[in-house]
Amino acid sequence: MADSVQNTPSDPAERYLVLLNEHERALAAYVHALVPDRLDAEDILQSCKLTMWKQFAQFEPGTHFLAWARKIAFHQILNHRRSARRKPLYSAEPAFLEAVAAEIDRVSDSLADRSEALHDCLRRLPENQRRLVLLRYYEDHDIAAIAKETDRTEAAVYKLLSRVRAALNDCVKARLASSPA
């Protein structure tokens, strides 16, 4: 689109941003779910967004944007795995990635609303568990660092963290089950 004539509401950039805005959290979760290394996941998301924009002309309006985006992301993940300069702690095998991606696609409807539900559930956590969530996910501390910071043993932190995640998962599922679809 070399110097297109006017900036109309049907501007592709605008359309793209509207769609991306709607689905970016789900896409981010998808990539994080498939890429164990958080740093890699962020890198992949970035290149994924660039690729999506470059290929946006091929996206058919009215079709499932997130499904299209996931396909692109999955390719990016496989590509990244091949080209990774840095060996992550856990690298995922292609067969494993495909199995997990297929499972995500299969249950994607039930995963779709989890973000909102999770927000509600986070607010209900008791104080010490909130702190743990912040240390682990916002500060990105590992278990050892959290143990030091909170004056607990690593085993205790690990157990507590597992329990917090289980509680959040139960809460999310309960909210989804109780909310009218």
Partner 1 sequence: MNFHDHIDASLDGRLSPEEWAALQEAVVRDPELRREYVEKRWLHALLEAESERLPALLEEPSPPLETRVPSPFRPAAWLAAAATVALFGASLVFFFQSRPAPVVATLIEAENCRWAASDLPTVEGAGLSPGTLALAEGMATIRFHSGATVTLEAPSVIEVESAMKCRLVEGSVVADVPESAHGFTIDTAQMEVIDLGTRFGVTATPFGHSNVFVFEGEVKVKSGDAPEAQHVLAGKSLVSKVGAAPERTDQEVRRVEAPDASPGPGWTAVSTATGRGRDAYVRRGDSHGPTGAQALLMVKHTDLAPTNVRRAVLAFDLTGIDRAALRGAKLTLKIEPSGLGFSSLVPDSRFAVYGLVGEQAETWSEDTILWENAGPLVEETLSAATATRLAEFEIRKGSPNGLVETSSDALVEFLHSRPGEVVSLLIVRETGESDQQGLVHAFASKEHPTSPAPTLWLKTSGDQ
At its nearest, how many Å lie between partner 1 and the CB of residue 103?
A: 5
Residue 111: partners with Cβ closer than 8 Å, 6 or more residues away: 26, 29, 104
Residue 97: partners with Cβ closer than 8 Å, 6 or more residues away: 34, 74, 77, 78, 81
Between 46 and 179, whose beta carbon lies closer to partner 1? 46
At its nearest, how many Å lie between partner 1 and the CB of residue 83?
A: 15
CA distance 71 to 55: 12
CA 33, distance to chain mean position in Å, is 6
Between 72 and 168, whose beta carbon lies closer to partner 1? 168
62: left (phi over 0), alpha (psi -120 to 50) or beta: left
Residue corresponding to tokens 């089950």: 177
Q: What is the distance between the terminal CA atoms of the chain, rounded to a whole angstrom?
A: 41
At its nearest, how many Å lie between partner 1 and the CB of residue 180?
A: 22
At its nearest, how many Å lie between partner 1 and the CB of residue 68?
A: 16
Between 70 and 114, whose beta carbon lies closer to partner 1? 114
Between 89 and 181, whose beta carbon lies closer to partner 1? 89
Between 12 and 64, whose beta carbon lies closer to partner 1? 12
At its nearest, how many Å lie between partner 1 and the CB of residue 111?
A: 6
Q: Residue 141, CB half-sphere, CA atoms under 13 Å: how many? A: 19
